[in-house]
Amino acid sequence: MQTPLQITFRNFPPSDAVEARIRAKAAKLEEFHPRIMSCHVVVEELDRHQKQGRQFTVRLDIRVSGHEIAIDRDHHEDIYVALRDAFNAAGRKLEEVARTQRGDVKAHSTP
């Protein structure tokens, strides 16, 4: 992956397995948009609830030429599901931006 990737863990110790999953998911984002300039991933464990257990939130800040994409997925007990949901949303958004930049999306004329 050519994209500079920053990974930040908050309120829990870093995990090699989670970091490897993030790097693999971030590398896959380049299939949706080839010119990603930067990607910052923040994984945070929220305060523990007595009955719900651990809650994770994932935030992605992605920069492409002319656009900045922010994805925020939160409140899931499984960190891998939270990562999956955040990166799937980022892929959809990057695909939409790439279509717009290519000119595939039709612009309506104003009357």
Superfamily for 5-102? Ribosome hibernation promotion factor-like (3.30.160.100)
Print pLDDT tens along the chain (111 aa).
466 889 999 988 888 999 999 999 998 888 888 788 899 999 998 876 666 678 889 999 999 888 898 998 777 788 898 999 999 999 999 888 888 777 766 666 776
Give the pLDDT of residue 2.
60
User: How do the domains of the chain map onto residue ranges?
Assistant: 5-102
Give the pLDDT of residue 41.
93
Give the pLDDT of residue 105.
62
Three-class SS of the chain: CCCCEEEEEECCCCCHHHHHHHHHHHHHHHHCCCCEEEEEEEEEECCCECCCECCEEEEEEEEECCEEEEEEEEEECCHHHHHHHHHHHHHHHHHHHHHHHHCCCCCCCCC
User: Is the pTM of the predicted complex or chain greater than 0.85?
Assistant: no
